[in-house]
Amino acid sequence: MAEPTLLKTPLFDWHQSHGGRIVEFGGWLMPVQYSTIVDEHQAVRQRVGVFDISHMGRLTFDGPGMLAWLERVTTNHVAKLNLDQIQYSLMANDQGGLIDDILVYRHQYGYYLVCNASNRPAVLAQLEQHRRGAVGNFHDHTRETAMIAVQGPGALATVQPLFDQPLEPVKYYHLTLGRLLGDVNAVVSRTGYTGEDGYELIVPANQAERVWNAILDSGQSQGILPCGLGARDTLRFEAAMPLYGHELSEAINPFAALVGWAVKLDKGDFIGRESLRGWKRNPGQTRVGLRLEGKRIARQGTTVLDSDRAVGTVTSGTFSPTLQSSLAMALVEPSLSLVSTPLTLDVRGHREPARVVELPFYRRSPHSQK
């Protein structure tokens, strides 16, 4: 059987011609870095960085039957969304395992759903399976659009000069519609997956490079850098944001992953509800943060030990550029989740002492949060 063709974002040629190191990610060819991961990471923490996130799935829903359909296939309460509000939600299977974690946008024309790149086929299959004649228009706009994230303390100063609507009043987890560069229709959201303030811009694919270059020009005075998936991962890790395939999967229930707050068991029936009710009573494990004493990195799959007894598994780990220490997130037995609990990690045959620490590892100062 022929290998599936890897997809390219509308900015692929730019990445290639500007030194982006291209890797396969979620079925797409994506830049993992341009300079160094640490330089790009620090640019976002201290100044501003721009990411191509066009690999994320972008689905639109409008029409009378769309709300009921979205309620049926998501765990959070879509009907509670106010106009121009965004909701973090999950899509579960019948057993309460997670197909994906998603964002649901409500705007004046209907709903937008943003999903992870590698899970888009599974999300589309789940939607199709449970449509039950929902009347309205549903489209997958992933290939016709681009999505660009501008993140960091200088994000507002970078994006505002290009956009015709005021961005400062847009609250966290909200969106606005307007025009970039005078004539490019855009959906601009303020969610952030880096632990910093920032904006995500959805624009037509044929305008992506023009918008991208304008962002780089506008952000020059802020010290902007183009950033790849490497920095995106270290940034989200420090902010303890779960990543599908690591902290979230069909084998990990949302209560163990600490995203159970996005499961509204009382909203009415939805896929996986009864199984999730059981997982809420007994999640089995819980996600914790760990600080290692040494500098070795505990990668995904590393065994967590209490004395010599295996009590959990690392889901993500890295050396934190901001905190200058080796950190990990892991799923462990709930009785071992208290802050300061001593544990040991089996890092490639070496026993590494660690302690449970509070999540998130990094939190930006409150004055920068609108």
In a domain, 151, yes or no: yes
In a domain, 343, yes or no: yes
Instruction: Report yes or no: 75 and 263 within 8 Å, Cβ to Cβ.
Output: yes
In a domain, 83, yes or no: no
Predicted confidence at residue 3, as pLDDT, reads 52
**Structure tokens of 220?**
């020059």
Please give the residue range of the domain that contains residue 194.
7-54+143-238
CATH number of 300's domain = 2.40.30.110
In a domain, 225, yes or no: yes
Residues 299 and 221 reside in one and the same domain: no
Residues 291 and 231 reside in one and the same domain: no
In a domain, 324, yes or no: yes
Residues 224 and 350 reside in one and the same domain: no
In a domain, 274, yes or no: no
Residues 227 and 300 reside in one and the same domain: no
Q: Provide the mean pLDDT of the chain.
A: 96
pLDDT at 365 over 90: no
Average pLDDT over residues 278-289: 97
Residues 233 and 310 reside in one and the same domain: no
- Which residues, including other chains, have CB under 8 Å from residue 319's CB and lie 6 or more apart? 295, 297, 325, 326, 327
Domain end among 174, 205, 238: 238
Residues 295 and 231 reside in one and the same domain: no
> If pLDDT is split at 50, 70 and 90, which confidence band does 294 have?
very high
Tell me the per-residue pLDDT of 131-141, one tens digit each, with 9 for 90 and over. Answer: 988 999 999 99
Residues 149 and 231 reside in one and the same domain: yes
Number of domain units in the chain: 2
In a domain, 214, yes or no: yes
Residues 293 and 208 reside in one and the same domain: no
In a domain, 218, yes or no: yes
Residues 167 and 305 reside in one and the same domain: no
pLDDT at 366 over 80: no
CATH number of 170's domain = 3.30.1360.120
